[in-house]
Amino acid sequence: MLLNFNPTPKRLLVLMWVFWGSCSMLLAQKQINPASYIKPSFLSHSDTEADILIKAIQKRLHADSTYYNPEWVWEHGTQCDESQKEDIFQSNLFSMHDSYAQNEACLEDAVIISPNVSIPFRYLNNEDYFAIWDTQNVNPYPYSIASFSDTVKIALFDLEKETSWSAPLKTTRVTSKFGRRWYRWHHGIDLDLEVGDSVFSAFDGVVRISKYNYRGYGHYVLIRHDNGLETLYGHLNKRLVKVGDQVKAGELIGWGGNTGRSTGSHLHFEVRYKGHAFNPKHMFDFGEKKLLAQEFTINPKVYSGLIANAKAQYHRIRSGDSLWKISRRYRTSIGKLCALNGISRRTTLRVGRRIRVR
């Protein structure tokens, strides 16, 4: 005998509630840890969900979100995991449905980093070090520049893949060079601008950091690029992009300014690989606003200054110190101290600062 079942909206809602409760009980019995998977927010050419097992990449992957912290969950495995897992599942499910509703032909897999941030999987997979995703630290990567010995070729742009590049400013007059500057290492170059000038992304990519740092960069943006590099834009007056935003080469990302540790309006521009900065002038001709080549080779020579700086020896200046006293203590000459630090014999030594002696 067939039952007369009328699928009214109310009955469907009850059935969905019962089904979800049953699934929750089964998942609880299996004690599935939410750190054991990351679900893509949308999938390409697929109408089923797919799990990306974190076990295969957990040694390399870090999600620094308070909403989803796989390291903490994996270590403690407490009862609150179940509610967190349910939130993650629902967030991914809703995000997937929204993506399909907006675009039936989804282009690629994405990984959900937090409730409001999902990024294409290639930004965790194109380079080995890309598996580390950190929205707070410029260099979170465990690579020592002193032992760098690789030779890596970077395709800066590819017309066949429709990737391009752009100068970070409309005018690119260099006001401060890369390298040692007084007692500190200058990790980028400074480009002249007026407050409010437009600042553009150099290559296609995704925003990894967008924040304010009052002691250093001020308002700054760091972008992870398709080609394996990361670029940083500092001392902005205003940031126009947020973490997780995908940007194209030449896209407006902020307005120039004079925030943070800055004595005048300018753009502090850095190019980094595996977290370590190298001289942007190895790649860019800022006078002509062009790339020197379509492909760029990274090798120890590119990092020669940083490698030497990493192996250097320093002295912290104390009250009563002078160049003569420091030179006698380390058995060197005043001339060598001045050359190593870019100072003159008349430079005032400030207590607490470091001076290079080797």
Are 274 and 342 in the same domain? no
Are 90 and 184 in the same domain? no
Contact 231, 272 (CB under 8 A): yes
Are 180 and 290 in the same domain? yes
pLDDT-wise least confident of 65-74, 105-114, 177-186, 346-355: 65-74
Residue 238: pLDDT band (50, 70, 90) is: very high
Provide the residue range defining the domain that includes 351: 312-356
Q: Count Cβ neighbours within 10 Å for each residue of 148-169 and write b for 16 or more, e otherwise.
A: beeeeebebbeeeeebebbbbb
Which among 2-6, 96-100, 317-321 has the top mean pLDDT?
Answer: 317-321
Task: Collapse the DSSP code of 301 into the 3-class scheme (helix H, G, I; strand E, B; otherwise coil) and give the result.
Answer: coil
Are 53 and 125 in the same domain? yes
Are 351 and 235 in the same domain? no
Residue 303: pLDDT band (50, 70, 90) is: confident
Query: Has this prediction a pTM greater than 0.85?
Result: no
| Average pLDDT value for residue range 117-124 | 81
Are 263 and 330 in the same domain? no
| Average pLDDT value for residue range 320-342 | 87
The answer to the question of residue 107 being in a domain is yes
Return the DSSP state at 350.
Answer: P
CA terminus-to-terminus distance, the chain? 93
Are 178 and 291 in the same domain? yes
The answer to the question of residue 145 being in a domain is no
Q: Is the pLDDT of residue 62 over 70?
A: no
Are 112 and 29 in the same domain? yes
Are 40 and 113 in the same domain? yes
The answer to the question of residue 198 being in a domain is yes
Q: pLDDT digits over 1-49, tens only?
A: 445 556 666 666 666 666 666 555 544 444 433 333 333 333 233 333 3
Are 114 and 183 in the same domain? no
Angle at the Cα of 68 from the Cα atoms of 64 and 72, rounded to 5 degrees: 80
Give the per-residue pLDDT at 280.
Answer: 93
Are 219 and 288 in the same domain? yes
State the CATH number of the domain containing residue 338: 3.10.350.10
Domain boundary pick from 133, 164, 193: 133
What CA–CA distance (Å, rounded) separates 65 from 334? Answer: 50
What CA–CA distance (Å, rounded) separates 329 from 326? Answer: 5
Structure token digits, residue 44:
């390409």
Contact 267, 189 (CB under 8 A): no
Q: Is the pLDDT of residue 295 over 60?
A: yes
Domain boundary pick from 80, 104, 133: 133
Domain boundary pick from 269, 300, 331: 300
The answer to the question of residue 149 being in a domain is no
In percent, the amount of the chain with pLDDT more than 70 equals 67
State the CATH number of the domain containing residue 230: 2.70.70.10
What CA–CA distance (Å, rounded) separates 269 from 174? Answer: 10
Q: Is the pLDDT of residue 174 over 60?
A: yes
What CA–CA distance (Å, rounded) separates 337 from 334? Answer: 5
The answer to the question of residue 123 being in a domain is yes
The answer to the question of residue 235 being in a domain is yes
Residue partners of 303: CB distance under 8 A and separation at least 6: 145, 148, 276, 278
Give the per-residue pLDDT at 191.
Answer: 95
- Give the number of domains in the chain: 3
